Amino acid sequence: MVKRRSLKGDYCPSARSLDVIGDWWSLLIVRDAFDGLTRFSEFQKSLGIAKNILSERLRTLIARGILKAVPAANGGAHQEYHLTEKGRDLFPVMVALRQWGEQYLFEPGEKHSRLVDRDTGQAVRLDVRTEDGRLIGPDRAVILKVADPEQP
């Protein structure tokens, strides 16, 4: 592979996000963390990921501030992996992925898990809106490019 291109320098925020969480496993681990999993063995069982890979991914997710290792809640000797605030703020990303998957990747009638408000049971969704709350589609949104500050 020679060297996987980094998008750190890109001025597109989506590209930087993908640079940080765009690999095969990271978002799945984050999903499981949202789901309440905290222990190495839980992630490993849930994802069927090789242990060495899980180990490395947890390490980099911690290095990137998305997870943090905390002592076991029950006083045990093991560590637990918890989402940081930065990690929890990936919630809209997860919901967006879920919403798209629900719409396109299930047969009609096929069952899937659903995300609901814990208190009211209402379905949870998300939409792109302008500041004043109007719905907006890709055709009406434009990306304002920014002059590269490196090149004055």
Partner DNA sequence: TTGAATTGGTTTCATTATGAAACCATTTGA
Partner DNA sequence: TCAAATGGTTTCATAATGAAACCAATTCAA
Residues that bind DNA (CB under 7 A): 1-5, 23-25, 39-42, 48-53, 55-56, 58, 72, 76-79
Burial label, 51 (beta-carbon count in 10 A; 0-12, 13-18, 19+): exposed
Shortest spacing between CB 73 and DNA, in angstroms: 11
Residue number with CB closer to DNA (70 or 126): 70
Residue number with CB closer to its own copies (53 or 78): 53
Q: Which does 62 bind (CB under 5 to 8 A by kind): its own copies, DNA, none?
A: none
Q: 84-91: long-range contacts at Cβ-Cβ below 8 A with a sequence spacing of 24 or more? A: 87/30, 87/33, 87/61, 88/34, 90/21, 90/27, 90/30, 90/66, 91/34
- Note the maximum CA span of the chain: 56
Residue number with CB closer to its own copies (59 or 125): 125
Q: Which does 98 bind (CB under 5 to 8 A by kind): its own copies, DNA, none?
A: its own copies
